[in-house]
Chains A and B, each alone.
With several copies, the nearest count.
Chain A
Amino acid sequence: MDKQTALHLYRVMRTIRRFEQRSTTLFGENKIWGTIHSYAGEEAIAAGVCEHLRDDDWITSTHRGHGHCIAKRAELGKMFAELLGRETGYCRGRGGSMHIADTSKGNLGANGIVGGGIPIATGAALTAKQLGTDQVAVSFFGDGAANQGTFHESLNIAAIWKLPVIYVCENNQYAESFPAKKAFAIEDISVRAAGYGMPGVRVDGRDVAAVYAAASEAIARARKGGGPTLLVCESYRHEGHYYGDPRKYQTKEEIEGWKTAFDPLLDARGWIVRDGLGTEAELDAIDRAVDDEMERAVAWAEAGPPASPLKFPEDIYASY
């Protein structure tokens, strides 16, 4: 990997981490309504995959969607504005954290329905195939979503039609309080790919370089008409399922153990410095730049006007 890519991947991950910290603070200040789900710990997946995507490639995301959004180059200010229920937010305050889309960058949206985005990405890939472009679609979803019917039906459809779609399963070991160890009788989710006739790949989701490499291959194959891939990234979420989760289903030891052992940012700092792709000072500078950018984004968002009143039918129908 070249220096520029390595530092960019680090920057994306650092932006995601900081975004989650900042929105957690805002939530604690009662400025955010509803629920937020932190992506902290899983940054390497979104960053490593989206690094290969163009603005005209599509993604579908999940309830834990901030990271995908940022990696797909969303504007932070508009994201915060959405969390704060402002008219200047991505969805004009109508969507909130679980429903941020940025179609200008090919982000078809977060999704509050577990597994809901999987067929949608499949359909986006069908568009690419039908129109003869080399666009690809990526669906991000969790280990929990891999037990939804939508996963099964979509992967089969993509396989028989050889659609340019990459199914990225983020196995963060839990679906809410349910550990993947109990929700599956298999240890490696990527073996499911064989049941559809597509390649299945499993990578260490802490290692952004590994994700980057695996995604590169899958995306290149898809672009060239080689069909779909199931890419399973082993990961861990640092925070609870949602802000305020009492985490009764985990021990303190487990959490602390993983949090130190499994940190994609620390990991990346390690090999970037080791391989001479960047210095600690350069990385610290990125950290500071990200923090500054974040504060500007929050300030911009907080200055925005509240969501405008609903308009019927325009808000709901294109025509009526």
Chain B
Amino acid sequence: MPPTRVPSSPAAVLGPAAVQETREMFYAEALNDALRLEMQRDPRVIVLGEDIAEHGGAFQVTAGLLAEFGPDRIRQTPISEIGLVGTAVGAALTGLRPVAELMYIDFSGLAIDQIVNQAAQNRFMFGGQARVPLVVRTQGGSGRGNAAQHSKSLEAWFTHVAGLKVVMPSTPADAKGLLAAAIRDDDPVMFIEHKLLYRTKGAVPTGEHLVPLGRADVKREGTDVTIVTWSRDVLLSLEAAAKLADLGIAAEVVDVRSLVPLDKEKILSSVRKTRRCLVVHEAIKRGGYGAEIAAIVAEEAFDDLDAPPRRLAGVDTPIPYAQPLELGVVPQVADIVKAARELVAG
């Protein structure tokens, strides 16, 4: 069931009367704000994870929450990924609304059995007896010299799991609104941040702010080519779009935001307009979620296309340590510009 079409700005969601105050926040701060507000609103919301208490989380997303909510609700765990996620699954099944943090998505393999076999399949397998209001927050991506075991982009794994939702916000406002929505959602949600986004800034509504799952967002309008992307690559694509504008190419940037459910309609309608589609993501190309989107576009908008749908993605390699190599294996702004130009020319 495709989501109902509703405009995606917060004001529009809340209705014109509720236009909200905003404040410049870092992405990490916006996430923190969402956690705080949801924890204030609902005592069943708890956070579990490693290093989330005094230290405030590896990326400071839980900073200050221990002081406000105490150690019972900010539950620091031993280094036991499957234990902590499985504990969160059990808690979700029995009345809490846990947010479990996996410090790096690279460690998610240690916990994936509980995410997939237990959380995601629970509703189906048991005939709908229970709900699993669980959020697994994690972060991925390269760019900090953390090398092959701390830099992967693994969203594709989770999109390929029936019963999971997968969300990847690109801006502070979306981060806040989507996290709040994920926490209120009754299904298990993989909420994937990007380590290079935490220190990016943007205007964020200060009060309650919800961005419904399942809605893409056109972050820039254009007519010549559609760039479909998510997470940090939205920022790079917007930079690329600005450069492309100088070259006379009007790129439309569609921020998928929620990979599952996917807002297919918004992607397809943009592609039908521009007649060209470039999918950009940081994860390695082979088996990446870009393939899913390119395949959908090819399948459903074939006759509307003036050029083959094209993917620009990470090189099929583990992430290297040395900075020049690291930068070389994932798409950069110049690569996006080049790919879009070729697509428009081709």
Any A–B CB pair closer than 8 Å: yes
| Interface-located stretch among A41-49, A96-104, A205-213, A224-232 | A96-104
| Interface-located stretch among A83-91, A258-266, A269-277 | A83-91
B321 with A309: CB separation less than 8 A = no
B17 on the A face (CB < 8 A): no
Secondary structure at the B interface, as helix, strand, loop or mixed, is loop
Most buried by B among A104, A123, A309: A123
Mask: chain B, 309-324; 1 = CB below 8 Å from A; 0 = not: 0000001111011111
A172 to B323, CA, bound (A): 31
Mask: chain B, 45-87; 1 = CB below 8 Å from A; 0 = not: 0100011011110000000000000001101111111111111
A108 with B130: CB separation less than 8 A = yes
Summed over the interface, the residue pairs from A and B with CB atoms below 8 Å come to a total of 280
* Interface residue ranges of A103-157 to B (CB < 8 Å): 103-104, 108-109, 111-116, 118-128, 130-131, 137, 144-145, 147-150, 152-154, 156-157
Chain B residue numbers with a CB within 8 Å of A307 are: 320-322, 324-325
When A90-B126, A317-B163 are in contact, do A124 and B149 touch as well, CB less than 8 Å?
Answer: no
A14 to B213, CA, bound (A): 50
A178 with B86: CB separation less than 8 A = no
A94 with B93: CB separation less than 8 A = no
Residue ID in chain A nearest B83 by CB atoms: A153
Least CB distance from B138 to A in Å reads 15
When A101-B130, A131-B95, A313-B1 are in contact, do A248 and B89 touch as well, CB less than 8 Å?
Answer: no
Chain B residue numbers with a CB within 8 Å of A33 are: 145, 321-323, 326
A318 on the B face (CB < 8 A): yes
Chain A residue numbers with a CB within 8 Å of B150 are: 98, 112
Residue ID in chain A nearest B77 by CB atoms: A157
Chain B residue numbers with a CB within 8 Å of A60 are: 90
B92 on the A face (CB < 8 A): yes
Chain A residue numbers with a CB within 8 Å of B113 are: 113, 116
B23 on the A face (CB < 8 A): no
Chain B residue numbers with a CB within 8 Å of A94 are: 124-127, 147-148, 320-322, 325
B261 on the A face (CB < 8 A): yes
Chain A residue numbers with a CB within 8 Å of B261 are: 320
B114 on the A face (CB < 8 A): yes
Mask: chain B, 114-142; 1 = CB below 8 Å from A; 0 = not: 10011000111111111100000000000
Chain A residue numbers with a CB within 8 Å of B163 are: 316-317
B88 on the A face (CB < 8 A): yes
A319 to B213, CA, bound (A): 10
When A94-B127, A101-B130, A113-B149 are in contact, do A316 and B55 touch as well, CB less than 8 Å?
Answer: no
Chain A residues packing against B (C-beta within 8 Å): 33-35, 58, 60, 82, 85-86, 89-96, 98-104, 108-109, 111-116, 118-128, 130-131, 137, 144-145, 147-150, 152-154, 156-157, 160-161, 175-178, 182-184, 246, 248-249, 306-307, 309-310, 312-320
Chain B residues packing against A (C-beta within 8 Å): 1, 3, 46, 50-51, 53-56, 72-73, 75-96, 98, 106-107, 110, 113-114, 117-118, 122-131, 144-150, 162-163, 165, 185-187, 214, 261, 315-318, 320-326, 328-329
Extra 17 A-B pairs, beta carbons < 8 Å, given A112-B146, A178-B76: A35-B145, A85-B323, A91-B125, A94-B147, A108-B94, A112-B117, A116-B86, A116-B113, A119-B83, A120-B118, A122-B90, A127-B91, A147-B79, A175-B79, A177-B51, A178-B79, A309-B325
Leading 8 A-B pairs by shortest Cβ distance: A123-B90, A119-B86, A153-B83, A34-B145, A96-B321, A85-B322, A33-B145, A112-B149
